[in-house]
Amino acid sequence: MVDPNSVIVQEFLIESFENLTGISEELTQYEKTPTDSELLNSIYRKVHTLKGSASFLGLHKLQEITHEGENLLDLIREGEVKLTGDHVDLLLETFDACIEILKSIEESGNEPEKSYEDILKKYSGSHDVELPRIDDYFPYENYIGDRQLAPLPIKVEAPVVATPKKEKPVQKVVEKKEEPVKEVRPVEKPKEPIISKPQMKNEKKMTEEKTVEQPAAARQGNISDSVVRVNVKLLDKIMNVVGELVLNRNQILQFANNEDAPELNRLAQELNVITTELQTDIMTTRMQPVGSVLGKFERIVRDLARSQKKKIKLTISGKETELDKTLLEAIRDPMTHLIRNSVDHGVETPDARKIAGKNEEGSILIKAYHEGGQVTIEIRDDGNGIDPDKILEKALNKGLVTPERAAQMGKKDILNLIFLPGFSTAEQVTNISGRGVGMDVVKSNIEKIGGSVDIDSKVGEGTSFKLKIPLTLAIVPALVVQSGVETFAIPQINLVELVRLEGDECSTQIEKLHESEFYRLRGDLIPVFRLSESIGLKKQKLKEKEKYEEDFLNIVILNAEGKVYGLIVDTVLDTEEIVVKALSRKLKDLSIYGGTTIMGDGKVALIVDALGFLNYVDKGHSQKASQMVVQESVNTLKNETDEVLLCRLGDGRHYSIPLCLVNRLEEFEKTDIEWSGDQPLIRYRNKPMPLINLEKTMKLNGTSNLMDQDQKMLPCVVVSIRNSLFGFIVSEIRDIALNEDIIDSDTVDRDGILGTIYVNDTTVSLIDCHNIIDMQPIGQNLKKKTAQANRGKILLVEDSVLYKKIQKEHLSDLGFEIVEANHGQEAIEILKSRRHQFDIIVTDLEMPVCNGWEFVKFVKEHVADFGDIPVIAMSGTIKSRDLDEGIRSGFKMMIEKLNQQAFQEAINNVMTL
């Protein structure tokens, strides 16, 4: 027995635990790179140190088991034993036993009663070379035992030579004041000592190590004098004191700003600098590299993979990324669960991977890095992925979601169902996973420390978890706002942007639907909530008339795990570093608040939890309302909205050019124009670009600016046709307009005009850009040059005359035969007629009679009749929810109409599948 409270034993335990913490990681790493001799030597030295310390303290079992491990490592170093997976298993089992023994010593001062004979027996059959017995080195009779030990250094590098058990030598310990002596007087050797070849090697190496390492040890004495081990509890206490100092700093700064006292302002600024520096240094002492946690997964992945007969390669990057120690401990268990799930559920068996056309060896990547003031940790595998359909089916069967809710869910929402308590897609329960317990704890534990979990998965390709964790919990930057007479703090980690509406915008920009308010942020309709009303600061709601008679509105746009919403506040005050204080136990159930803080004026402010607030006030109504808004807009939209560029030509009339064909708007000096015969050219992007005289081509009255001698600058619309640029010279570029009416093509009286539209009650001619180019000699040559052989047949479903014309021209240039349909029902009739065999279907989403969603549903339900024809969807705007729903509905790809390059790439990609 030893005294666990003695200084020497405490130092021994700290050093031993540190060595064993890294030794498992090094061993699994060495198994992957068996040629790394430095790594093996490092492992050997740590085991040797542990054995020497154990022998000095009289820890029999620890010394015996480490001695066996050291002998095996020595034979591996000499090349007499080849490392195998069984050897690694045995050594890892040995190190686990060492940790178990150390924990018992730490708790009681005694080694455990367990004999560890099962491990020692494995060593006898783990190699063919005879190993020396432990008694040959350290007979138990030579130990000091339970006597009071002298304060000698723990690390004993010199070997201890002893006689067989029949001798009873006396071990003499000599102590000097200046330098501790590591010498033990050897006893008289027996006449026929038993010394094997490996033993001689061990003694030789240990003697060499003593000679080499003694100067280093002396040097380390100086280094150790400059390092102090500090208890984490003391660091936490210091951090709390610094937090209080930050609060006082904020109050003094606010007081100094309100006083006209130069000396006070100077002292306040000096205090600010000192406090900031102290805060940074204290936080640095708490920061530890995440490698201390990530490195442990080498062992976990290896053991699980071997037990399941899987081949898995683990890659870890970003070990040097630092994180607060408290947070580091908090993410240990959640990450362990995610890793175990990746091995168990994610990566397939070698046979299954081979059938799927993958490498037999699966891979798991753990990557840590700084991003946006946070630490992001990715866990990614290349396994079978997560099937959203199976998840949704399981959730419906278990009653976790309603059918109505399921119909509205996108892919992201479905994947997040795995975080619900009791949810599991495992086919059978194992000792690793499958009981539906764990993923909900992972999410809740990460959220408790202010982090978030994001999941992404592709069936057959793998799954990725992304953990976003704040650098520290103690002091965080926040936006300070005010509603009513109360002050609130919103962590900047959730802040997206600030929006201010003034005057009439307060009534026109805020849309109301089914008692919910929305704001259209760059085309996306997001819910907005009034902070005062949501938390009951105002006893009575404002009347409808009064609500919108406001001079301005401050909207704080927040992001809570991918859900964007707006928070209307009365005043935006400032950004400030706040010290987070935990809520009282009586208020712990209030999920809308993440804690409290003390502001510069001494008042207490509540910290708004972005996700908790949204869950509290939303109740799912905004999502339903948003879906209704989308559905109503689709149902009421009779025709496609065409975006056009308005311009004026030499005849004084207004014309329009399809915006999807416009590349840039330029203005050229007339002196820069060069001529090639009758064709004007301008050097543009290091290439000659043809300039088009629209007046001459369309035979209009009036003179083009190209021919007007008084014009020095030429307004030009650069259009992209057949992957080439052309410059349309105009008299004036006016504006961009939207056309929601049908293009009237019956009034066309000349070539180059596609039809007429009405913009602001004015008739505007729509220019047929493709026709204009084809009418030019250079355009005809380009069409012949870019023409491709027949590549197949495409069914083009589009109700817009403009886009139908543009897409047809584009697809024809790519070498496809085009069959047109004006809406989904007409396309269905064409398919039913079986007159054509289509390679691709390109369809618009918003159409009358039968829209794209309904059409693709019909196509996928009749695969047996028409074949599995890939369907590409087009729309004026594609939102993230459309992408998720589109893939689930059966679309191969979804692209925006204005992106002609993406449209061409999509066609080519589908044809190569």
- The DSSP code sequence of 545-573 is HHHT--SEEEEEEEEETTEEEEEEESEEE
**Contact of 202 with 132, CB cutoff 8 Å:** yes
| Confidence (pLDDT) at 556 | 93
| Confidence (pLDDT) at 788 | 65
The structural domains of the chain, with segments of one domain joined by +, span 7-225, 232-289, 291-470, 476-632, 642-780, 788-912
CATH superfamily of 476-632: CheA-289, Domain 4 (2.40.50.180)
| Confidence (pLDDT) at 175 | 41
Domain 642-780 in the same topology as domain 476-632: yes
- Count the neighbouring beta carbons within 10 Å of the beta carbon of residue 660: 22
The per-residue pLDDT for range 314-372, each reduced to its tens digit, is 898 888 888 888 788 888 888 888 888 888 888 999 998 988 888 889 999 999 888 76
For residue 58, which phi and psi values (nearest 5 degrees)? Answer: 75, 30
For residue 272, which phi and psi values (nearest 5 degrees)? Answer: -60, -45
C-alpha distances out from residue 698 to 102, 717, 744, Å? 93, 16, 18
Outline where 109-171 has alpha helix (H): 117-124, 134-137
| Alpha-carbon span 368 to 323, nearest angstrom | 10
Taking the CA atoms of 31, 37, 38 and 42 in sequence, report the sign of the dihedral they define: positive
C-alpha distances out from residue 584 to 246, 296, 505, 695, Å? 21, 36, 41, 78
C-alpha distances out from residue 212 to 183, 205, 215, 217, Å? 17, 10, 7, 9
**Contact of 337 with 439, CB cutoff 8 Å:** yes
| Alpha-carbon span 868 to 859, nearest angstrom | 8
Overall size of the chain counted in residues:
913
CATH superfamily of 291-470: Histidine kinase-like ATPase, C-terminal domain (3.30.565.10)
The one-letter code for the residue type at 783 is K
- Count the neighbouring beta carbons within 10 Å of the beta carbon of residue 59: 24
Angle between helical axes of 232-258 and 325-341 (0-180°, round to 10): 120
| Confidence (pLDDT) at 639 | 44
Reading the block at residue 305, the tokens are 């993979």
Cβ neighbours of residue 357 closer than 8 Å, sequence gap 6 or more: none
| Confidence (pLDDT) at 426 | 54
The model carries a pTM of 0.49
Q: Side by side, which strands form the sheet with 654-658?
A: 732-739, 642-648, 654-658, 762-767, 753-759
| Alpha-carbon span 732 to 576, nearest angstrom | 50
Reading the block at residue 398, the tokens are 């278990």
Radius of gyration in angstroms for the set of CA atoms belonging to the chain, rounded to a whole number:
38
| Confidence (pLDDT) at 173 | 40
| Alpha-carbon span 13 to 3, nearest angstrom | 12
CATH superfamily of 232-289: Histidine kinase  CheA-like, homodimeric domain (1.10.287.560)
| Confidence (pLDDT) at 96 | 87
| Alpha-carbon span 140 to 575, nearest angstrom | 68
CA-based nearest residue to 537, from 566, 568, 513: 568
C-alpha distances out from residue 821 to 241, 614, 746, 813, 855, Å? 73, 44, 19, 19, 12
Q: Side by side, which strands form the sheet with 452-458?
A: 312-317, 362-371, 374-381, 462-470, 452-458
- In this structure, whether the domain defined by 7-225 belongs to CATH 1.20.120.160 is answered with yes
| Alpha-carbon span 334 to 332, nearest angstrom | 6
Number of Cα atoms under 13 Å in the Cβ half of residue 688: 9
The β-bridge partners of 713 are 669
Chunked into runs of 10 residues, the chain (913 residues) has average pLDDT values of 75 81 80 83 84 82 87 84 84 87 86 83 62 42 36 39 40 41 41 40 42 40 51 77 82 82 86 83 79 82 87 88 82 87 88 88 90 82 88 84 77 82 58 51 80 86 88 77 88 87 77 76 79 73 44 87 85 83 70 80 82 76 48 44 83 87 87 88 88 90 84 88 87 81 73 82 85 84 69 87 80 85 90 86 86 88 85 74 72 77 79 72
Cβ neighbours of residue 717 closer than 8 Å, sequence gap 6 or more: 645, 647, 657, 662, 665, 727, 728, 730, 733
**Contact of 641 with 803, CB cutoff 8 Å:** no
The β-bridge partners of 842 are 796, 872
Output the CATH code of domain 642-780: 2.40.50.180
Q: Burial-class residue 749 by CB neighbours within 10 Å (0-12, 13-18, 19+).
A: exposed
Q: Considering only the top CATH level, what class is 788-912?
A: alpha beta
Residues 189-210 as b or e (16 or more Cβ within 10 Å = b):
eeeeeeeeebbebbeebbeebe
| Alpha-carbon span 96 to 17, nearest angstrom | 11
